[in-house]
Structure 1
Amino acid sequence: MDAATSGTEDKTPHRFHRSLSGLGVIILTLSVLSPGVSIFVSGASILQQAGTGSVIAFLIGAVVCYCQTALIAELGAAYPTAGYDYAAIGHAMGDWAGATTYIATLINMPVFLNLSAIGIAIYLAPFGIPLSATMITFITIATVTALAMLNIRANEMLTGIFMLIEFAALLLVAAIGVWHAQPDAAVCVLNPVHLDNGVWIAASIGIIGIAVNNSSWALAGASQALMFSEDMKRPETIGRIILIAFLLTVFFEIAPVFGTIVGAHDLKAVLANDAPFETFLGQYLPAFLLKLVSLSIAIAIFNACLAGFVGLGRTVFSMGRTELFTAPINHALTRLTRRTDAPWVALLLLGTSTALATYIPLTAKLLLLSGSTTILTIFYVLGVYIGRRSGRTGARYRTPLFPLIPLLGVGIVIGEAVVLWLDAETGRKSLFICAGAYLLAFCYYRFVLMRRPGGWKMRGPDDIDALVARDVVDA
């Protein structure tokens, strides 16, 4: 339906038709977080950085990421809406927290999507496409914007097919590595070393620590299932869905890292190359198969962009529904196509801003993104503590080992902040920039939203708002 076809509809919160199963949400979530992109892009730098310590770094990173994921699973299960973790935080902590996180991370959406889109040109290079990298990026963004207008069930099927191709490439790397496991493989994994100017040296705790931080970031993203929760038939199960998506991500990311380290017959050549996974596969596969692997990586990136547009388009829709902006903008953002329930204005806005983000320098993009996760983790920890005490969270999914996991979350925040602070070139600047963004966002809430007649209150889909209100009363 069109969400703004009548005056009556304009006065009530809008929502999407509930047509997705839990499996459908898992498919879309794994597509947008894309283990393939994380490994072949982010994982490559981790391998170069930590060497054979990458396996240990990913295992520890999985524990770190689990703590963050378990926290947001509890918050999201208590308020499963397209508003993503921002709305879940606002439900647990108060409207101010929801508005602050919504606004502070607004610019991150097109930047995040653009970083994925520009990677496609790199992996299409072996095919000699006569287009510039910028043009390929623009074509990718235009294509995924158009496809995101389809019914979400159609996107579930499309992303599912692409996801199978992506997983096949990851399993290929893992299987080849295990099949060709070297005699000293266990020693390499248990006694981490990395290359320094072509010489093997022991990987220090600092090196492993930075790799743990980066690998936990590469494994993150299961909470993006929340973006599709308004389309779920049973949104109350979203907490478990998030954990299932996380476990699958851990397997499909760690397996190829392990396979590469234990199976390379020339490990020095692999770790010295900017494309370690492709170099590893080149030791065992003919050139034409390597091209197919490059194509599968490009498909994985495209799939991540498509699923990201579908999910984040819904999050932008939810910003309009909760009236974060002026009335005309809010009205436009909540318009849905009649046939597919796609938030077409939100998607067009997202597509345009993602294309424009191509002209933002890479350094600036990293500054905007790298510190944001650390600050959000603070909200996760506080959200679970406050939500449990007020009875707003914990009814449908409870973070295990409470309060141990939130306490570990405090340690994670401190560790991530220290790692970012030690990186004077990017990390430290990112902390200041992201903290400034959150401060400005709070000021927007305090001096703009709260000065409206009657103030401002976060809104979600009518059925979820009614359900959580009943749960809070019962608690």
Structure 2
Amino acid sequence: MPDPSSSPAPSPSDQRSTPALRRGLKVLGTLLITLSAISPASSVFIIAPGVVAQAGSGAFWSFALAAVVGVFMAFVYAELASAYPLSGGEYAIVGRTLGKLPGFVTLGLLMVTQLLIIAVIALGVGTYLEVLIPGLPGPLVAAVTTAGATVLAIFDVKLNAWITGVFLVIELIALAVVSALGLFDPARPLGELLTNPVAATDGVVGPAAIGLISAAAAVAIFSYNGYGSAVYFGEETSNAHRGIARAILWALAITVASELIPVTAVLMGAPSLEDLFAAENMMSYFVTAQAGSTVNTIISLAVALAILNAVLAIILITSRMVFSTGRDAAWPGNISRNLAAIHPRTGTPWIATLVTGAFATLLCFVDKDFLLVVTATSIVAVYAALCLAVLNGRRNRSTAHAAYRMPLFPVAPVLALVALAYVVWQNAMDPVIGRPSLIITAGIAVVSALYYLLVLRRRGAWELRGPEDES
């Protein structure tokens, strides 16, 4: 009996006309772009303070627990990506392993959140540039940043890999400086963080409850998110079936080290935990206290550069997904054909890139709190779909050709699903962001399902395509 999730084989003429990206990346180039999209410095300076505010010095355990979940999900991503290293990313994988309806729902979630997350990240540029130019209009700075990154993203992917690589080195140097400030001049030993974590409750510092640490781990999980983005460059990476899995695993390892070490250093080196917890900008407080305002200014500029780099990398990633939707004929004829266009000289999906950048630039003028609510929990649904995809792929053998097989299967996807269920519960308890975000995520999923059932399935046009050499 044929697998219902598989697409009809295209005719030879269809295969010849299928747009193909140029394989110009080595695994290193893919890794550089992936790490730039994760942007460890942005996570440390923007997300980590939220974890510390919630869990106090217990944030060390929050990030450590999140790293364990990250390992589980990296195993899931690596196995699926080695089977289907496609520019469509998660939706292309879910569609081939769970079926077209779950695949299109995954696409709907990603289309909305990927475009919005570019704006969310770009809005951070102005915050860190204010150390030089006070009073900068944040939305305008974000829009200019996004538009400039879009222009760069049209050029050859190898060039962009090196651009992101140079920016990434600057970002990692800044994190190394922050780490050195705390590790070489500690105010408290590591053992105190391990055995006696404290947190501020109503301004009073006391023992950090296990519940607080666990709840903060739900936030820390997302600070590591992005290692699976390597799959989007599967059609542009040499020996992708093996190389993408390596890129994903290396991206997680480097991300964990480059985030957990600086966070630990700040918690060990802060002159006063009470002042750290109460600071409006925790990282600026720490750097200024340890090294002075000049170093803080330099670090702030490095963070602004890291955010710009992340915007460029995420536009590169999102445009590949948008290109794939055009190739798969997810939209009316002319729209799909244009989105699937490949620039003859650069070999990049140039129209999909321009469309991605244009939408993201406009979204920079939308209220940031609204953007956060919309994007906060959709990745949970995508992670859950991938866990189910890897389980079903083993069952129906749709991933039997995968070049990478995770160890101790099915431990990773099962435990990851348990952790994700906990994250959903934590979000349901949050009436400000978490609960509304869950409702919006469910709404996007319903609208996506209706579009597939009422439009795409009826006209039978949506085909899950890949490059001509797809296994």
TM over 0.5, yes or no? Answer: yes
Kept in 2, the 8 Å contact 1:104–1:440? The answer is: no
Query: Which is worse superposed, 269-278 or 215-224?
Result: 269-278
Q: Residue deviations 1:262-294, cap 9 Å, x none?
A: 112222212211221221111121322211101
Q: 1:117 aligned to 2:122?
A: yes
Alpha-carbon distance between aligned partners in 1 of 2:143 and 2:410, rounded to the nearest angstrom: 47
Alignment correspondent of 2:438: 431
> 1:473 maps to what in 2?
none
Q: 1:226 aligns with which of 206, 209, 231?
A: 231
Using the TM superposition, give the Cα deviation of residue 442 of structure 1 relative to its aligned residue in structure 2, in angstroms.
1.4
SS in 2 for 1:18: coil
One-letter amino acid of the structure 2 residue matched with residue 175 of structure 1: A
Alpha-carbon deviation of 1:247? 0.6
Residue 269 to residue 130, structure 1, CA distance change in 2 (3 Å):
closer
User: How far is 1:11 from its partner?
Assistant: 6.2
Q: Report matched runs for 1:169-248 at 5 Å.
A: 169-237=174-242, 238-248=244-254
Deviation at 1:303, TM superposition (A): 0.4
Mean CA deviation greater in 271-280 or 302-311:
271-280
Tell me the residue number matched to 2:110: 105
Change (3 A) 1:275 1:130: closer
Distance apart, 1:150 and its partner CA: 1.1
Query: Are the aligned partners of 1:317 and 1:334 in contact in 2 as well (CA < 8 Å)?
Result: yes
Distance 1:163 1:280, change over 3 A: same
CA RMSD of aligned residues (A): 1.7
Name 1:365's counterpart in structure 2.
Answer: 371
Q: Percent identity?
A: 31
- Could you tell me which amino acid in structure 2 is paired with residue 405 of structure 1? A
Please point out which of 10, 17, 21 is paired with 1:12. 17
Residues 462/196 of structure 1: CA separation in 2 closer, same or farther (3 Å cut): same
C-alpha distance in 1 between matches for 2:189 and 2:22: 55
Residue 408 of structure 1, CA deviation = 0.5
CA contact (8 A) 1:420 1:427 kept: yes
Output the CA distance in 1 between the equivalents of 2:160 and 2:462: 34
**Secondary structure, in 3 states, of the residue corresponding to 1:448?**
helix
The gaps in structure 1 that reach 5 residues or longer are 1-6, 468-475
Conservation of the 8 A alpha-carbon contact between 2:329 and 2:461: no
Quote the Cα distance in structure 2 between the aligned partners of 1:183 and 1:195.
Answer: 17
C-alpha spacing 1:214/1:183, structure 2 compared with 1 (3 Å): closer
Q: The residue matched to 2:25 in structure 1 has which SS?
A: coil
Change (3 A) 1:130 1:339: farther
CA distance in 2 between counterparts of 1:271 and 1:376 reads 33
* 1:416 counterpart (419, 423, 426): 423
CA distance in 1, matches of 2:378, 2:36: 22
Q: Which residue of 2 aligns with 1:377?
A: 383
Partner of 2:7: none
Give the TM-score of the pair, scaled to structure 1: 0.93
State the SS of the aligned residue for 2:205.
strand
Q: Give yes or no for the alignment of 1:33 onto 2:35.
A: no
Q: How far apart are the structure 2 equivalents of 1:366 and 1:287?
A: 30
- In the other structure, the counterpart of 1:470 is none
**Separation (CA, whole Å) in 2 of partners of 1:417 and 1:38:** 21
8 A Cα contact 1:180 1:264, kept in partner: no
Cα 1:10–1:410 change in 2 (3 A) is closer
1:442-463 CA-partner distances (Å, limit 9, x unpaired) = 12111111111x4533112121
Q: How does 1:68-467 map to 2 (within 5 A)?
A: 68-128=73-133, 131-237=136-242, 238-394=244-400, 395-452=402-459, 454=460, 456-464=462-470, 467=471
Instruction: Give 1:184 deviation, angstroms.
Output: 4.5
Matched AA of 1:53: G
Q: Which letter maps to 1:282?
A: T
Structure 1, residues 225-258: CA drift from partner, whole Å, max 9, x if none?
1111111011112112201111110000001000
Equivalents in 2 of 1:63, 1:455: separation in Å? 41
Counterparts of 1:355 and 1:8, CA distance in 2: 38
Say which SS state the counterpart of residue 195 (structure 1) adopts.
strand
Question: Does structure 1 conserve the Cα–Cα contact (< 8 Å) formed by 2:156 and 2:346?
Answer: yes
**Residue 56 of structure 1: which of 61, 70, 80 is its match?**
61
Following superposition, the deviation at residue 206 of structure 1 comes to: 2.2
TM-score, length-scaled by structure 2: 0.94
How many residues get paired? 458
Structure 1 position 18, deviation (Å): 0.7
Amino acid at match of 2:150: T
Ranges of 4+ aligned residues in structure 1 off by more than 4 Å: 7-11
Shift of 1:362: 2.4
Provide the C-alpha distance between the structure 2 equivalents of 1:183 and 1:273, rounded to a whole number of angstroms. Answer: 19
Per-residue deviation, 1:415 = 0.6
In 1, Cα distance between the equivalents of 2:169 and 2:282? 22
Q: Deviations over 1:99-152 (max 9, x none)?
A: 221123212122100011110000000111674222211210111011111111
